[in-house]
Structures are given as structure tokens and as C-alpha cells.
Structure 1
Amino acid sequence: MAQVKFGVIGHKGRMGQALEQAITEAGHVMQIGVDAGGNLGPLASQCDVLVDFSAPDALPANLGAAKVAGKPIVVGTTGLGEEHFVMLAQAAKAVPVLQSGNFSLGVTLMAHLVREAAARLGPEWDIEVLEMHHRMKVDAPSGTAKLLGEAAAAARGIKLSDAMDSGRHGMTGARREGAIGFATLRGGTVAGEHSVIFAGPEERLTISHSAENRMIFARGAVKAAEWLTGQPAGRYTMNDVLGL
């Protein structure tokens, strides 16, 4: 495809550095890089697409800059709350917006498989999401864990916010029927480990994914940005990129 000019928000962070490498590998150009304290507004128009791996607090300004410049934006920032998803939906009325908790192609397919399993296995199958990341990660559960939990909840016709059960401690009592449990591990330099466990009567099914290097997320984000360029305004996910 034609060379794409990227604007990377949060380019000095771990993911920003990986993105710069992935952009170059794919034959594209990192036109601008912006970090905390930088002013994206006047620079956004120089790019074909924006990629945001910064911080939740920066999202309103970044979406605003994308709308003013009329540029598509890929959002990989984790730790987003309900108010941020409202902002994403509003921005998608004006420009193409693709947001994901994980840009790995393998995780995207994993979420699809989790959705399929949750839809076909009855309520007697309990669902638990286990994740582990490096010691420096600041949010928990991870965006990927939530993405997988959302896939399971959607398949069962429930809201994750109603079913989510995390941080068990002490005398918690018996497991809530229909709950989707989350367990979080942190340590070392783990790039990302995720498992979704379906625990049924006398049998278990586990769907797992291991990330060996954050470059898989960077390459996936570049692929998403390539796909998003030229799309009409709207809200998109990695499922759209893979045609799932």
C-alpha cells in the first residue's frame, strides 16, 4: 500500500518506541511524535493517521485534535473509564476511530474464540480471566483482560460491569453464579500472559495467549492504522481489521 504518515502520541514510552520501529519496518514514516506537554493540535494535519498510546487524561485533547484535523485515530491507551468510551463514540461521528485493549492479532482471534465458547457453554461453566504483566504496569486488570471479559459477557447477553468479580480476599463466600472472575499477577518483565478458563462440571477448557515481545502489539497497531486510513467516520475494532 502507499506510504502512510503516522503521528504517534506518547512516542517516548515503551509502546511509542516499538511503534516507531514497526512503522519503519512497514515502509511508512513517523511524521510527528508528541508526548506530555506537547501540543498535538497544529501538528495533526501533517499526518495521515494518529496513534495514541499515551494516558487516559490526554484522550479528550487527542480526540479533539483528530476531529479538528479530520484524521483517523487509533487508540491503544489502557485504563479507560466509561467516560472515555463516551468520548470515543462522540469522536467517531466525525472521524474514523479504532480503539482496542490489545492490538495483537492472536489476542483478537482469542477474543473471538472466547465469545464462541461462552455462547455455547451453559451457565454451569464458570468463567475466570487470569493475566500477568511486567512489574511496571500501572493498571489492573489489563485492558486485554477486560477485552476478553467483555467478549465472554457479550456472548452471554450480560454487562461485564454487572458480572465482574475481581480482587477476592478473605471470607468472600461461594462464587456468585454468572460471575466473570479476574485475577491479576505482576512481576519481572512479562510482556503479557492471558488465559480464560471455562470451569465446568468435572472438566475445564482454557484458552491462552502469550506475548513474547511488545512488538506484536506495535505491528498490530500499524496494521490497524493502515486499514483505518481511508475508512469513513465510525467506531471500529480489531475484529473489523481481521474481518471477524
Structure 2
Amino acid sequence: MSGPVRVAIAGSSGKMGRMLIETIVNSPDIKLAGALDLPGSPALGQDASAFLGKASGVAITSDLRQGLANADVLIDFTRPEGTMAHLAVCAELGVKAVIGTTGFEAAQKAQIGALAQKIGIMMAPNMSVGVNVVMQLLEVAARSLNHGYDIEIIEAHHRHKVDAPSGTALQMGEVVAKALGRDLKECAVYGREGVTGARDPSTIGFATVRGGDIVGDHTVMFAGAGERIEITHKSSTRVHYAEGALRAARFLATRGPGLYDMADVLGINPPA
């Protein structure tokens, strides 16, 4: 397509929404075309980039059709129920979508797959380029450390995060389980308390930490006899999430209907 990619932001007055808007303002090939927020938000009617001391000419609105009218792509890092409502309107209007929301139920994921037959949707629990490289490293590690190593996934986020484990931690578990020929639904252990007995070596454990303003830390531990391998990613800012989301928006702008992930965006080929 010619000209800048026109992007609308959902949850535009939240921390991630503002980071996305700031990143767009500093991106010459992306244009802010819409800004959405919940009905009743005190930000409604304000210029979307006013917090930067700059005017974008885009007012924050709760009217989905108004907010999406001039957009090529919606970027959505909100909550499942909101994202599903946004996607329904995107499909009506032919607006593509970059989805960073986590916590979807199986039925909602199936709906997203159906909507992707009408519009391009890029969905990933983590837009960070670094995290998606880590996913590739985990696949290699799991295939190599497939006997004699216990696998534990530890994640930490800020006190306001509402879902646990994080979508990124779950994706890490799915990558590892697939590489080992296991089904994460059957082998995941999400909590331990009391007398649990010896650890089942076929399981993948998850531990969740919530506190303060932790942006996002993830560690996958392969614990063997006499050695421990840890693959860790730590985020100190949301900037790389925003940059990854804009990279995904550029990618979608040249693609037709379909359900894509960050591996598609980054051109990462799975290990042979």
C-alpha cells in the first residue's frame, strides 16, 4: 500500500495505549487514525496525544465505528470481552487487527479464527522481538533436553495484571510441550501446596508472581542432575511491545485475510 499505515488504538488512555500512541507519533510511516476507550472514560473527547504536549487531531471516542472509520489496522491490548467486540466491528468494516490481548477462552479463540477468514489478524501474547526469539530458543532447548530435566516456568508481572499465568508463559509452555510431544493441557501444573509427593517428571510447572510495577519477567528452567539451564527474558519498559505491534501493523497492511503470529511477522522459521 502507498502512504502511511493508518492505525487505531484500543484502550488509548491506558499505559500500553499511550505507549503505542507515543511510538506512532515518532514513526514517519505510521499515522494515528483512531483512538478508542471505554464509555465513561474521563479521556473521552480529548486529543489522543495531548499527554505528549502534541496535537494529533484524533479525539478519543467510545464509538467503535467512528474510531475505526479511517483506520487500516486496529491495535488492541485490552481484555478478551472488549477485543471480541472490537473484532466484530473490524470484520464489518474490513479493518485488520493486531491483537496483544491475553486470557482468551477456547471458544473465543475459535471465533477469532473464524473472523480471520474475513480480515487479516495478527495475534500474539507478546509482541517483543526478543521474546519471540526466546520462543525459538526454547524449542531447540526442549528437543535437546528431552530426558532427565524437569521444566518449570516462572513469570512475574505488575500488581494490576488480571490473568495468570501470563499469555507469554502459557505460550512458552506450549512451545516446550509441543517440542517434547506432549499436550500442555495434560501435563501443566499451575500450583503446588501441601504434601504434593515427588515431582512427576512428565509435568511442566508454572509459578506466578504479581507485585509492584514489574513490566514482565519470564524464565524457563530446565533442571537436571548437577546442572540447571535457564532461558530468561526481562522487560523494563513497554516500548519494545509497542515497536513489535507497529511492526505487525506494517506486516498486516500488505497481507490478506488470515490468522498470523509474530513468527510470520519476523520471518522466523521453526527449527528443523
Q: TM-score interval w.r.t. the shorter chain?
A: over 0.9
Q: Which amino acid aligns with 1:26?
A: S
Q: Which amino acid aligns with 1:34?
A: L
Whole-angstrom distance in 1 between the partners of 2:14 and 2:119: 26
1:57 to 2:52 alignment? no
Q: Which amino acid aligns with 2:266?
A: L
Whole-angstrom distance in 2 between the partners of 1:190 and 1:91: 34
Helix, strand or coil: the match of 2:69? helix
Whole-angstrom distance in 2 between the partners of 1:9 and 1:83: 22
Aligned twin of 1:88? 112
Alignment of 1:145-224 (within 5 A): 145-224=169-248
CA offset digits 1:132-177 (Å, max 9, x no partner): 1112222111111111111111212222221111121111122123
1:67 to 2:69 alignment? no
- Report if the CA contact (8 A) 1:59-1:84 is conserved: no
Residue segments in structure 2 that go unaligned for 5+ positions in a row: 40-61
Whole-angstrom distance in 1 between the partners of 2:253 and 2:148: 44
In the TM superposition, what is the alpha-carbon distance from 1:178 to its structure 2 partner? 1.5
Q: Which amino acid aligns with 2:35?
A: G
In the TM superposition, what is the alpha-carbon distance from 1:42 to its structure 2 partner? 4.4
1:6 to 2:30 alignment? no
Q: Percent identity of the aligned residues? A: 38
- Cα distance change on mapping 1:4 and 1:182 into 2, 3 Å: same
Alignment of 1:73-112 (within 5 A): 73-112=97-136
Whole-angstrom distance in 2 between the partners of 1:62 and 1:119: 39
What is the RMSD of the two structures over their aligned residues, measured on CA atoms? 1.4
In the TM superposition, what is the alpha-carbon distance from 1:237 to its structure 2 partner? 0.5
**Superposition TM-score, scaled by structure 2 size:** 0.86
Whole-angstrom distance in 2 between the partners of 1:94 and 1:158: 32
- Which of 63, 69, 74 is the equivalent residue of 1:45? 69
Helix, strand or coil: the match of 2:148? coil
Structure with larger RCO (C-alpha < 8 A, sep 6+): 1
Aligned twin of 2:263? 239
- Report if the CA contact (8 A) 2:215-2:237 is conserved: yes
Aligned length: 244
Whole-angstrom distance in 1 between the partners of 2:13 and 2:103: 19
Aligned twin of 1:22? 23
CA offset digits 1:24-54 (Å, max 9, x no partner): 1222222111112323134423101111111
- Report if the CA contact (8 A) 1:96-1:228 is conserved: yes
Whole-angstrom distance in 1 between the partners of 2:86 and 2:138: 32
Return the index of the structure with the highest Cα Rg: 2
Residue segments in structure 1 that go unaligned for 5+ positions in a row: none
- Report if the CA contact (8 A) 2:36-2:67 is conserved: no
**Superposition TM-score, scaled by structure 1 size:** 0.95
In the TM superposition, what is the alpha-carbon distance from 1:103 to its structure 2 partner? 0.6
Whole-angstrom distance in 2 between the partners of 1:212 and 1:137: 16
Q: Which amino acid aligns with 1:226?
A: R
